[in-house]
A and B are shown apart, each in its own frame.
Chain A
């Protein structure tokens, strides 16, 4: 074989090898760093509480005439910034910057400085990025260690992650690669409330990403947004999809609890949030109530085979999280009667 041909063949082979190695390396790109913090979106409802009962903003939909540009409107100015850790310290802000959001995919169109858009009088924030930060704040600061938690430890280390809230914070960090913002509103029909909240794309390579849609920013409150992040992350790196069956929640149904799908993870986080310690500095009783409300409603809607338990069955979730994460020990293996609740179905 002429040496020139040999050389070309070697070069072609070399390039293919380089490409293969590149693709392989792509699979092992390290996970992004971490989440953030921030506060709630329930200000109007809380301020308008009558006789101590909060009228939750379940119907906080975009009104006709909304610009569809994720801009700021008075109607949605509802994320108060008081006590928002991410808002007050650079350290906390850096923390969230490392959580996929730092790569900025999709956020550029929304305006990267969006997060600074604050009403100086009310100290409220109403931007897609700010609302996303709020969701992460609920995840990160739900456990008292907040950004001090060592989230890189193995997710099987339940000696360290001794509450579900700690475990969930690390889980979301370790399993997130990229979070994008998307201003589109993707609903079945115009002004329908059957909408895409988020879109997760995954595959065998470490290039999965989650797109957050307008519904995520402006139809959900911060507690719901936080549990949605847990939900989407379960789709992302773990690759667990929904099931094709009929429940009350559009097409986002899981066959049953023990599928341990995105809906199961979402509800476990809500239950853990509800069962946060009473003296928690961040999770107020009002937020706990909201978590319980969401839990009870979503539990009825998300599964094609109705779960048989109540939120009361999760009272130990922040003491023995491993039993809830590895629910098989509790629900499907009667030969291992563990000291945990019975999660039928």
Chain B
């Protein structure tokens, strides 16, 4: 009777082994994804700036600034933007009178934007297009799908070229400036 606990030890060890081994080796993939709001991203002169805002200025904006290609230690900052800054950016984004300019800017970067590439050892070249991209439920601009006749037009994010040979409207430039102001306010809130 007194030896019974000892005889159960191996059974317990075996049961624990069986139960724990599968879990000890597991890993979890639980990334946060963007499902809404508006995201502005600028790749320019080896640097990326991203600003994410929600429709309401009462919700946090998030921003990041990183060199290209982006490293592993980058972290996002979160802050509440001044309502006037937030409003100014969204007003420009959703000003219907500007939509033809935004469409022209998309067409221009689509036609003549060129990737800038630099070789990396043992890796594919790193390439990026100097441009500003705005994603989310943004005003509707369209691009043609090549390779199909007649080419269908599908919705596209807003895109603005930042290369000298790519046309950029004054409306587009104004939107970019407002984005960069908001990004600066988010990235350096104490300035």
Q: Contacts A15-B14, A23-B22 known; A196 to B136 CB distance under 8 Å? A: no
Instruction: For chain B, residues 52 to 84, give those with C-beta under 8 angstroms from any C-beta of chain A.
Output: 52, 54-55, 59-60, 62, 64, 66, 69-72, 74, 78
Q: In the complex the two chains form, what is the Cα distance from A262 to B30 in whole Å? A: 12
Say whether A245 faces chain B, with CB atoms less than 8 Å apart. yes
B180 contacts which chain A residues (CB < 8 A)? Answer: none
Q: Which of A22, A187, A203 contacts B25 (CB 8 A)?
A: A203
User: Do A306 and B33 have beta carbons less than 8 Å apart?
Assistant: no
CA distance in complex: A194, B61 (Å) = 11
Contact with A along B139-164 (1 / 0, CB 8 A): 01001011110001011110100000
A295-345: which have CB < 8 Å to B? 296-297, 300-301, 304-306, 308, 310-313, 315, 332, 344-345
Among A76-84, A132-140, A156-164, A248-256, the stretch that binds chain B is A248-256
Q: Which chain A residues in 210-251 approach chain B with CB under 8 Å? A: 215, 219-220, 235, 239, 241-242, 244-251
The verdict on A49 contacting chain B, using a C-beta distance below 8 Å, is: no
Q: Chain B residues near A68 (CB, 8 Å)?
A: none
Q: Mostly helix, strand, loop or mixed at chain A's interface?
A: loop
Interface of chain B, main secondary structure: mixed
Assuming the A-B contacts A58-B36, A199-B28, A205-B25, are A305 and B126 also in contact, with contact meaning beta carbons closer than 8 angstroms in the complex? yes
Counting contact residues on chain A (CB < 8 A from B), the size range is: 35 or more
Q: Which 10 A-B pairs have the closest CB atoms?
A: A12-B10, A193-B36, A312-B146, A252-B31, A203-B26, A58-B137, A292-B154, A250-B32, A246-B70, A15-B14
Q: How far, in whole Å, are A304 and B22 apart by their CA atoms in the complex?
A: 33
Q: Do A196 and B69 have beta carbons less than 8 Å apart?
A: no
| Chain B residues within 8 Å of A58, by CB | 36, 136-137
Within 8 Å by CB of B71, from A8, A20, A245, lies A245
A199 to B60, CA, bound (A): 24
B127 in the interface, Cβ–Cβ < 8 Å?
yes
Interface size (B, Cβ < 8 Å)? 65
- 22 A-B pairs in the complex with CB atoms less than 8 angstroms apart: A12-B10, A16-B14, A22-B18, A53-B140, A188-B32, A192-B59, A193-B36, A195-B33, A196-B32, A197-B33, A199-B29, A199-B30, A201-B28, A203-B26, A219-B35, A245-B71, A246-B70, A248-B39, A300-B41, A301-B39, A305-B128, A345-B127
A31 at the interface (CB under 8 A from B): no
A310 to B153, CA, bound (A): 13
Residues on A lying within 8 angstroms of B by beta carbon are: 8, 11-12, 15-16, 18-20, 22-23, 26, 53, 56, 58-59, 61, 186-189, 191-197, 199-205, 207-208, 215, 219-220, 235, 239, 241-242, 244-253, 255-256, 258, 262, 289, 292-293, 296-297, 300-301, 304-306, 308, 310-313, 315, 332, 344-345
Picked from B18, B36, B74, B156, the residue with its CB within 8 Å of the CB of A246 is B74
Which of chain A's residues have a CB closer than 8 A to the CB of B137? 56, 58-59
A59, A297, A310, A315: the one contacting B135 at CB < 8 Å is A297
Is B37 part of the binding interface, using a Cβ–Cβ cutoff of 8 Å? yes
Question: Does B124 reach chain A (CB closer than 8 Å)?
Answer: yes
- Closest A residue by C-beta to B156: A296
A215 to B37, CA, bound (A): 14
B50 at interface, CB cutoff 8 A: yes
Q: List, in ascending order, chain B residues with CB within 8 A of A22's CB.
A: 18
**Given known A-B contacts A248-B34, A248-B135, A305-B69, A242 and B14 have beta carbons under 8 A apart:** no
Given A23-B22, A203-B26, A246-B66; A306-B35 close (CB under 8 Å): no
B129: min CB distance to chain A, Å: 6
Tell me, in angstroms, the Cα distance from A215 to B33 when the chains sit together: 10
A255 to B123, CA, bound (A): 12
